[in-house]
């Protein structure tokens, strides 16, 4: 396993299975009244968020706290970043606190990779531009595996704005690595040229959606309308919205959130038992606990604190 989690590409199938298994055992802890384990006691985790985020940020915070780490969350607004400090200077400043991990969300591809060059801490990519969002992919695998049992051979359709989606990129890599067959589907203007090289096939209509076991809808950002990628949300919804008519009764539905009701998904499917959307959010915490554990528990503890030799998490 790499010292950082920058891309799904860094993970072997065995790495992913180990992380999902670890998340499973943390889920057991989460079911208890006291949801904390001492694994990262005395170690510092820094959340560095250059982009607004609700789910990712809060679940990383909760994950770090449940592992007993000391946590700092910095947002671009109100920090030195707003005063023009470069990413490098910010990271070097924060590194002076000797963090065990830096979790970074940035609007720019490769930002997490850069941070990894400038710090001793383990770096976790919490979304870098339109590049990748590996912990989202892991929590999606975890959620799907819990519901479907096995991932091997599943047909997954990723539908929507693939061009601007880091979730799509990480999930294409993650689903294919676990043995799924991935199809991406969306308007030709929103499917990047060359995406097949990631191991998926491309469709521009939902005609064959019936062959999917899992439909993964992407968020359609309203601001994309200005670039005339699609003529109107109305036309987009008519062509690509997943609704009760298009989603078969045996198909599962996923979405990274937040959902635009009435655009990429109709209200009826969001609230249907086939939808895993709420479970995806729930999985966020335990999967991110597992990622922090993977990257940090194997490393030396800070001086003065005995190294945690437990291999399995124990309730505090």
Site for another protein in 103-142 (CB under 8 A): 106, 108-111, 113-114, 128-132
For residues 72 and 202, which CB has a smaller minimum distance to another protein in the complex? 202
**Phi, psi angle pair for 77, to nearest 5°:** -65, 130
Q: How far is the CB of 34 from another protein (least distance, A)?
A: 40
For residues 227 and 262, which CB has a smaller minimum distance to another protein in the complex? 227
Q: How far is the CB of 15 from another protein (least distance, A)?
A: 20
Taking the C-alpha atoms of 178, 182, 186 and 191 in order, what is their torsion angle to the nearest 10 degrees?
Answer: 80
Q: How far is the CB of 32 from another protein (least distance, A)?
A: 39
Return the SS3 of 316.
coil
Residue 258: cis peptide before it, omega within 30 degrees of 0:
yes
- Residue 306 buriedness (CB in 10 A; 0-12 / 13-18 / 19+): exposed
Instruction: Return the DSSP state at 73.
Output: E
Site for another protein in 47-106 (CB under 8 A): 86-88, 106
Q: Listing from the earlier edge strand, what are the strands of the sheet with 44-49?
A: 70-75, 44-49, 101-106, 122-128
Residue 265, beta-bridge partner list = 242, 261
Binding letters toward another protein, positions 177-216, x by CB under 8 A: ---------------xxxx-xx------------------
The tokens 């919490």 sit on which residue?
A: 126
Q: Does 224 bind another protein (CB under 8 A)?
A: no
Which of 22, 145, 166, 177 forms a contact with another protein (CB under 8 A)?
166
**Total residues binding another protein (CB under 8 A):** 24
- Within a 10 A sphere around the Cβ of 311, how many other Cβ atoms? 8
For residues 42 and 113, which CB has a smaller minimum distance to another protein in the complex? 113
Residues that bind another protein (CB under 8 A): 86-88, 106, 108-111, 113-114, 128-132, 165-166, 169, 192-195, 197-198
């Amino acid at each position: 396993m790499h010292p950082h989690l920058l891309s799904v590409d860094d993970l072997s199938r065995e790495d992913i299975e180990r992380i999902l298994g670890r998340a499973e055992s943390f889920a057991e802890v989460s079911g208890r009244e006291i949801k904390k384990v001492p694994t990262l006691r005395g170690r510092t985790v820094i959340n560095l968020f250059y982009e607004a985020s609700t789910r990712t940020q809060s679940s990383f915070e909760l994950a770090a706290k449940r592992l007993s780490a000391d946590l700092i969350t910095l947002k671009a607004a109100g920090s030195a970043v707003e005063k023009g400090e470069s990413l490098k200077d910010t990271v070097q400043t924060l590194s002076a606190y000797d963090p065990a991990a830096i979790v970074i969300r940035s609007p720019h591809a490769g930002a997490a990779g850069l941070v990894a060059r400038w710090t001793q801490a383990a770096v976790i990519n919490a979304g870098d531009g339109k590049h990748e969002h590996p912990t989202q992919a892991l929590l999606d695998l975890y959620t799907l595996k819990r519901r479907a049992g096995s991932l091997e051979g599943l047909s997954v359709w990723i539908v929507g704005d693939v061009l601007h989606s880091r979730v799509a990129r990480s999930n294409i890599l993650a689903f294919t690595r676990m043995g799924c067959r991935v199809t991406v589907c969306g308007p030709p203007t929103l499917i990047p040229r060359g995406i097949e090289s990631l191991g998926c096939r491309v469709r521009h209509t939902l005609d064959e959606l019936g062959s999917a076991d899992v439909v993964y809808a992407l968020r359609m950002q309203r601001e994309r309308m200005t670039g005339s990628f699609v003529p109107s949300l109305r036309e987009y919804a008519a062509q690509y919205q997943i609704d009760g008519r298009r989603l078969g009764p045996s198909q599962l539905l996923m979405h990274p959130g937040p959902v635009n009701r009435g655009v990429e998904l109709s209200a009826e499917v969001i609230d249907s038992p086939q939808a895993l959307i709420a479970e995806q959010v729930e999985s966020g915490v335990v999967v991110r606990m597992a990622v922090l554990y993977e990257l940090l528990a194997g490393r030396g503890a800070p001086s003065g604190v005995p190294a945690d030799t437990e291999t399995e998490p124990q309730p505090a």
